[in-house]
Structures are given as structure tokens and as C-alpha cells.
């Protein structure tokens, strides 16, 4: 697996929006509002340098997850069909190398994320249900 920076590849910006607002994903984020393509465009124009997509290998499309940093806060998600395979943990390990002081805010019922964060030694803060 590898992480690819989305800075120069705007097609990944829409992948991130779609995964972030997917019904099986949105429940795990604190902000559960729908995100329009225009809102995503504006957001990514500001933060694209700190966002990455995960690919199984350099020739593999489409991406299977994303991870990003806003401020010092980690945000990540894996496509539902690939969850439980260590992809989130891989992305967290890689992002920790680049942003060693980043933290995550996680809902208390998101046991999978809490477990992954603990296993790679990333500090997290519980934010509620």
C-alpha cells in the first residue's frame, strides 16, 4: 500500500468528499453535514497539501481510503468494503511519520478507530457519541 498526496490530483478531492459523506462513513465524523462539490473544492484548495489517498499499489485505482490533517487534527476514512484489513492502521502509521504531533478526535463509540489509534501510538481525544 502507499499514500499519494492529493495536491496535484484534483480527481482525488471528489473521492474524499464522496467517502466522507458516504452513509456508512459520515456517522463517524463529528460534523455530519453533507458537503457539496463546491464546498469540497474550496476546502481542498486550502488544505490539499496535507491530504493523502491510500492505494493498494501504484497502479491500483480507485483509492481505498484517505487521511488528512487540518490544523493538527487527523481525519481519515476507509471505503466500507475494505474496512478491517489494516488500511486505516497503515495510513495512521504513515501520517505519524510526517506529522508526529498530530492527534485525532474520535467518537467514543468508534471502537475500530480508537483501537487503530492506540496501536500506532497516536494520541486521541474522545468527543462523545
For 70-125, what is each residue's pLDDT tens digit?
Answer: 889 999 999 999 999 999 999 999 999 999 999 999 988 899 999 999 999 999 99
In total, how many domains does the chain have?
1
Average pLDDT over residues 34-45: 92
How confident is the prediction for the chain on average, in pLDDT? Answer: 91
Structure pTM? 0.91
Q: Can you give the pLDDT at residue 129?
A: 64
Q: How far is CA 58 from the centre of its chain?
A: 19
Using DSSP's 3-state secondary structure scheme, residue 8 falls into: coil
Print the domain residue range for 93.
Answer: 2-126
Question: What would you measure as the largest C-alpha separation in the chain, in angstroms?
Answer: 39
Amino acid at each position: 500500500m502507499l499514500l499519494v498526496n492529493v495536491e496535484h490530483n484534483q480527481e482525488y478531492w471528489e473521492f474524499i468528499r464522496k467517502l466522507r459523506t458516504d452513509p456508512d462513513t459520515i456517522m463517524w465524523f463529528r460534523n455530519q453535514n453533507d458537503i457539496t462539490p463546491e464546498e469540497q473544492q474550496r476546502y481542498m484548495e486550502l488544505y490539499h497539501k496535507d491530504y493523502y489517498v491510500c492505494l493498494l499499489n501504484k497502479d491500483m485505482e480507485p483509492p481505498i481510503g484517505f487521511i488528512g490533517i487540518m490544523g493538527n487534527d487527523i481525519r481519515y476514512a476507509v471505503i466500507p468494503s475494505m474496512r478491517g484489513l489494516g488500511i486505516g492502521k497503515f495510513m495512521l502509521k504513515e501520517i505519524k511519520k510526517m506529522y508526529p504531533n498530530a492527534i485525532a478526535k474520535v467518537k467514543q463509540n468508534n471502537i475500530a478507530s480508537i483501537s487503530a489509534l492506540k496501536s500506532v501510538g497516536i494520541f486521541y481525544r474522545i468527543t462523545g457519541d
